[in-house]
Structure 1
Amino acid sequence: MSLKAEGLLGDPVFEERENITDFPREPFVPQRTWGTAAERARRNLNAKLSNPLAGFTASELRTQGRNFAIMHEMGDTSDIRAFELGAVLAQAPERYAAVEGLTAPEKELLRREFANRWSQPWKMYAVVALCSLSAAVQGMDETVVNGAQIFYKPQFGIADNGSRSSWLAGLVNAAPYLCCAVLGSWLTVPFNHHFGRRGTIFLTCCFSAITCLWQGFVNTWWHMLLARFMLGLGIGPKSSTVPVYAAETAPPAIRGALVMQWQAWTAFGIFLGYAADLIFFQVADVPGIVGLNWRLMMASAMFPALVVCCFVFLCPESPRWYMGQKRYYKAYESMRTLRHHKIQAARDLYYMHTLLEAENAMKLGQNKIIEMITVPRNRRAMLASEIVMFLQQFCGVNVISYYSSEIFLEAKFSPKAAFSASLGWGVINWLFALPAFYTIDTFGRRNLLLTTFPLMALAMFFTGFSFYIPESSHSARIGCIALGTYLFGIVYSPGEGPVPFTYSAEAYPLYVRSYGMALATATTWFFNFILGVTWPSLRNAFTPTGAFCWYAAWNIVGWWLILMFLPETKGKTLEELDQVFSVPTRFHAKYGLRQIPYFVKRYLLGRNVKPEILYEKEETVPVQDLRFHA
């Protein structure tokens, strides 16, 4: 049979593959031959989730939408009409102009949805504000201790450089993240099930506010340890719930930006924490209160949490949560407040319903946690997710976040200069996270990491070796140490800062995604704890130079792990992601290694070589063969 008859002639993917030159290639293995029949069935079911309405006619979709509205008592005649048209639009929202029955004003409204994606109802902006403030609570909870520990450690008798004091100081600092890893993150599922997304955010912010105030009243290191451990109940479930709440309420056009804002506004909260430290560090004690300055620092983090608690219930509950509770009309009411028109609400709600039905069809007779390991596609997603979550901590960022003031003091900064330098790092961490809103979907997740990890390693080496500058050259010494940490923040913030949560949220198939995200958040908090608890002892044993070089080395290791084991997920549908993670790990590792000579030949030697294409789009099973309850 000819290439044209096979549909390959003129196919740019095929022609690029056939013209690859100048480096050895693995023989291409068709993706659909990998795995057993059961695994191929899982891939087909996952692909089905990319658009469960594909293949139905407009008439069939109208009937489905009308039946859904009547069955769940969605409202009057206008609401039934909205679901008839919404079901048709859900199949292909961008083809609104071809949908019969829409009026001219309705078509104009749908056109503006694509032309001006940030034109949203005020309730949608309330959700944006809620998610942003919740992220700021997170960042402030994490960093007010940066300056406070300089004052409370001498008061609690754990300030000397002895082994016991170093470990106790690290344990007190890292206690919230131990709680997140062993308890907090795993409470996400039951909290969300019983209290909803808003209820979980309210409870976790209450925990944060109470424990932050509690930290301001402690008088021993073990009392501080207990208060900070309980703070983890506010950090863990919130870090999993807020991105999910944003994704479930946002229209598709701004969903990625809303999920991405978690990292940007966490960075803003980190900046607020440093600002609070600088504001209160010169506060003098009053009669009967020792350490008023650090107590105000620790307690100040309660205020953003209280603001969230005051207005969280002014925002609508997640429609997805209502549907999971079989409260369909409440879901419709909620969605209507988040969209300009009931047709938009009906469209998004009906599509959500079909996705839930498709997820129910994913029950293949095995425990989902076990399937995360036993199903190769899931296992590869888990490997990639765990790598980026581990590296988010072991790149060394939170050494600076939690201990920068102490690091600058050790570099012979004055106390005010140390607090000011920490504030500067917080500003950089926030500002340079903002470009990721654009670069993560244009430059790509994997490319961002491969570019920034070598730069992070260089910044860590530069910071570490700057401690060798003699103290007699005071200005040069403190300038280089501050510059090294700032350069690290510049390259971390648009790369390993936002990528891990975004990557983990999209790598897993929908039917195991909640379990995958729970594991991902538990992983990052566990290694956050390891980093926080070991830094004081590591710094004493290795000296600051050795300690910074240790994390520089981990950035180099991370670059190799990303090169070989992290597939790109930018701009791919669920169907395409399923194909990406169906490539055997050894194939992808060898492909990653082959990219090194390609990069050298194309960008350093200027040779005209074409990139290797690893993935080819797999044929999907027609929707008629994959009914929801087959």
Structure 2
Amino acid sequence: MSHPVDSTHPVEPSIARMTEEAAKQKAVATQEKRELAGDADYHDHKHLDNVVNNPNALLENPLQGISHERLEAMGRAFAREKGLGEFEDEFAKGAQVAQDPLAFESLTLLNDEDRNVLRREVTHKWDQPWRLYSLVVCCSMAAAVQGMDESVTNGANLFWAPQFGLITDPALDPNATNNQWILGVVNGAPYLCCAVLGCWLTAPLNNWFGRRGAIFITALLSALTCIWSGCTNSRWHLFAARFVLGLGIGPKSATVPVYAAETAPPLIRGALVMQWQVWTAFGIMLGTVSSLAFYYVNDTANITGLNWRLMLGSACLPAFFVMAQVYFCPESPRWLIGRGRYRDAFKSLCTLRHTKLQAARDLFLINALLEEEANMPSGKAALIELFSVPRNRRATLASGTVMFMQQFCGINAIAYYSSTIFREAGFSEVSALGATLGFGALNWIMAAPAVWTIDSMAYSPGEGPVPFTYSAEAFPLYVRDVGMSYATAVTWLFNFVVALTFPRLLDAFTPQGAFGWYAAWNAMGTLLVFLFVPETKGLSLEELDQVFSVPTAKHISYQVKVARTNFRRWILRQKIAPVPPLYQWEQATPATREF
């Protein structure tokens, strides 16, 4: 599985529960921004109109339109108010740089050393402190835990199912149909738990224990339930163990990419967060390696099925590695700010950036964004607003569509059952596992380009990570945490459906028919994306609000009209007028609207 990438990843609703002192500071900052609206320095009236008519626009950059002198004063005041007075000069400079991080060359407050540091940040973006890369390693291993949790059952299915009486071949057992459903239920148990419970625990775990605490707890749950799975003595005992495994998989899948996004520098944030997909694929491959490694392990006098028990239990190893490392990593500065712990947040950023200027810049901007998020009006529960507010409802429909198709493209049927598929195709069990290893290795290798090419190519660099990226962009910030919980729950729910139904599909449809079924869903998915999923790539928050403010019926009508016009222009070669642009920013450059 993959997960969202982007600096605007979901955050827990912590601002509503800030300390009294932090709440006072928020009120002061809000009043100051209102005063700035009448300040002569705040001269961008178009920007003010956008803020009034579209509150989400301010979240794109709450420092827009403020003069450099005012920003310097705000930075110094911020440092004094947050107990960071000894770094007042750094925050004065950082506040100016935060307004436009790439426009530092013109800032007179900076000296040559400051400019050299900021210039190198652009020209050598991969030159980062070792503490940042140690955090990336931790997050990558957490992703490998995720992938291994998903794939170790692939080889284990060959052994635990017949040991527990689940014969799925109709020629050998008259109850094969029922056994196929039970096999699917047991394999899909973690994803059922993720959908109905695990994903919705993400916010509480993050609120109470922080990013590192949530990762530690979910890794511990994953490790213990993997060991538990290897000690089960019946099919329903194994179901219970794997169901609890979902409590580790669900919150971890939401927390780890967010943790990476909140700690990474903006210029490499997307690339680092995309490592989730790469190392999840590595974990899937590692699960197959484990299956091959333990295939020939013999039973002992007291243990039957030692090989599959070791396969399932082996997924605990990367989880223990994550547990041992995570508390050596700095906590998310965004999470620390949400609790009023500004000095700790600054200390965290100083370990993740080369200089205190960079740390001050990022801390000042994060705080400004959090203040604006906290001021977003909301008269209803966020979950209700996902469906009651038209703009949010369209984002919910679009993100749900891509999350649904991420699973119903059929890729995880291969991840969970490829060894069974190859065995039914006439391969020996060892050869089936070897072929599965080839699939896992290819999936991992092809996941690497996802860092640069998530909008094209095959599954791993394309459809795999795109739904999470899309969902992170689609929701407004004030409901993004709940929106991402919903989106993640959708993908895990249909992951469960795939795991549940595929054993039965193999028998009822044959392997060719089963994959034909998913091929048909891919064709259907093409139509669903065409009709219900607007483009979000490269758009500002204001433009995204315009995109999702277009009624669904109007968007569908426009897409159909574009398709019809393009068919007539490019297939029938007719000379007809192009379709006018749908969105305001497209009207500046009139051109034919094409796919």
TM-score normalised to the size of structure 2?
0.86
Counterparts of 1:592 and 1:361 in 2: how far apart (Å)?
A: 36
> What amino acid is the match of 1:113?
E
Residue 249 of structure 2 is aligned to residue 263 of structure 1: no
Counterpart of 1:616 in structure 2 is: 584
Counterpart of 1:133 in structure 2 is: 141
Mapping for residues 589-628 of structure 1, pairs under 5 Å: 589-597=556-564, 600=567, 613-617=581-585
Mapping for residues 375-390 of structure 1, pairs under 5 Å: 375-390=389-404
Matching residue within 62, 69, 74 for 2:79: 69
Counterpart of 2:322 in structure 1 is: 308
Residue 100 of structure 2 is aligned to residue 92 of structure 1: yes
Mapping for residues 290-439 of structure 1, pairs under 5 Å: 290-439=304-453
The number of residues matched between the two structures is 531
Mapping for residues 572-583 of structure 1, pairs under 5 Å: 572-583=539-550
Counterpart of 1:35 in structure 2 is: none
Counterparts of 2:309 and 2:579 in 1: how far apart (Å)?
A: 57
Counterpart of 1:115 in structure 2 is: 123
TM-fit CA distance, 1:123: 1.0
> What amino acid is the match of 2:205?
F
CA displacement, residues 392-444 of structure 1 (integer Å, 9 cap, x when unaligned): 1111111111000000000001112100111111111111122222123xxx4
> What amino acid is the match of 1:506?
E
Cα distance 1:101–1:558, how it changes in 2: closer, same or farther (>3 A)? same
TM-fit CA distance, 1:601: 5.8
> What amino acid is the match of 1:131?
C
> What amino acid is the match of 1:48?
L
Counterparts of 2:153 and 2:485 in 1: how far apart (Å)?
A: 26
> What amino acid is the match of 2:101?
P
Cα distance 1:411–1:127, how it changes in 2: closer, same or farther (>3 A)? same
- Indicate the SS of the match to 1:435: helix
Residue 248 of structure 2 is aligned to residue 234 of structure 1: yes
Counterparts of 1:404 and 1:103 in 2: how far apart (Å)?
A: 60
Counterparts of 1:244 and 1:105 in 2: how far apart (Å)?
A: 32
> What amino acid is the match of 1:379?
R
> What amino acid is the match of 1:157?
G
Counterpart of 1:509 in structure 2 is: 476
Counterparts of 2:479 and 2:52 in 1: how far apart (Å)?
A: 12
Counterpart of 2:287 in structure 1 is: 273
Residue 509 of structure 2 is aligned to residue 547 of structure 1: no
> What amino acid is the match of 2:518?
Y
Cα distance 1:433–1:315, how it changes in 2: closer, same or farther (>3 A)? same
Matching residue within 243, 262, 282 for 1:248: 262
The question of whether the paired residues in 2 share the 8 Å contact of 1:579 and 1:615 is answered with yes
The worse-fitting range, judged by mean Cα deviation, of 169-178 and 592-601 is 592-601
The question of whether the paired residues in 2 share the 8 Å contact of 1:433 and 1:498 is answered with no
Mapping for residues 150-229 of structure 1, pairs under 5 Å: 150-161=158-169, 162-229=176-243
The worse-fitting range, judged by mean Cα deviation, of 161-170 and 307-316 is 161-170
The question of whether the paired residues in 2 share the 8 Å contact of 1:564 and 1:591 is answered with no
CA displacement, residues 568-627 of structure 1 (integer Å, 9 cap, x when unaligned): 1111121221222122212221232234345546666788986763222399xxxxxxxx
Matching residue within 553, 562, 571 for 2:529: 562
The question of whether the paired residues in 1 share the 8 Å contact of 2:51 and 2:58 is answered with no
Counterpart of 1:147 in structure 2 is: 155
When the two chains are superposed, the root-mean-square deviation of aligned CA atoms in Å is 1.9
Counterpart of 2:31 in structure 1 is: none
> What amino acid is the match of 1:165?
N
CA displacement, residues 238-286 of structure 1 (integer Å, 9 cap, x when unaligned): 0000111111111110111122221121111111111111121122222
TM-fit CA distance, 1:294: 0.8
Cα distance 1:378–1:197, how it changes in 2: closer, same or farther (>3 A)? same
Counterparts of 1:373 and 1:328 in 2: how far apart (Å)?
A: 35
Counterparts of 2:396 and 2:163 in 1: how far apart (Å)?
A: 44
> What amino acid is the match of 2:584?
E
Cα distance 1:260–1:604, how it changes in 2: closer, same or farther (>3 A)? farther
Matching residue within 40, 65, 69 for 1:59: 69
The question of whether the paired residues in 2 share the 8 Å contact of 1:579 and 1:617 is answered with no
CA displacement, residues 554-575 of structure 1 (integer Å, 9 cap, x when unaligned): 1111000101111111111212
Cα distance 1:529–1:599, how it changes in 2: closer, same or farther (>3 A)? same
- Indicate the SS of the match to 1:345: helix
- Indicate the SS of the match to 2:448: coil
Counterparts of 2:287 and 2:579 in 1: how far apart (Å)?
A: 45
The worse-fitting range, judged by mean Cα deviation, of 335-344 and 533-542 is 533-542
Counterparts of 1:377 and 1:115 in 2: how far apart (Å)?
A: 39
Counterparts of 2:536 and 2:578 in 1: how far apart (Å)?
A: 21
TM-fit CA distance, 1:366: 2.4
The question of whether the paired residues in 1 share the 8 Å contact of 2:206 and 2:214 is answered with yes
- Indicate the SS of the match to 1:49: helix
Counterpart of 2:38 in structure 1 is: none
- Indicate the SS of the match to 1:117: coil
The worse-fitting range, judged by mean Cα deviation, of 189-198 and 218-227 is 218-227
Cα distance 1:42–1:168, how it changes in 2: closer, same or farther (>3 A)? farther
Cα distance 1:349–1:41, how it changes in 2: closer, same or farther (>3 A)? closer
Cα distance 1:166–1:111, how it changes in 2: closer, same or farther (>3 A)? same
> What amino acid is the match of 2:355?
H
Which consecutive unaligned segments of at least 5 residues does structure 2 have? Answer: 1-49, 170-175, 588-595
Counterparts of 1:45 and 1:307 in 2: how far apart (Å)?
A: 44
TM-fit CA distance, 1:85: 0.7
Cα distance 1:279–1:367, how it changes in 2: closer, same or farther (>3 A)? same
The question of whether the paired residues in 2 share the 8 Å contact of 1:319 and 1:331 is answered with yes
Counterpart of 1:465 in structure 2 is: none
Counterparts of 1:397 and 1:606 in 2: how far apart (Å)?
A: 38
> What amino acid is the match of 1:342?
K
> What amino acid is the match of 2:99?
Q
The worse-fitting range, judged by mean Cα deviation, of 528-537 and 512-521 is 528-537
Cα distance 1:294–1:599, how it changes in 2: closer, same or farther (>3 A)? farther
Cα distance 1:308–1:605, how it changes in 2: closer, same or farther (>3 A)? farther
Counterparts of 1:255 and 1:200 in 2: how far apart (Å)?
A: 21
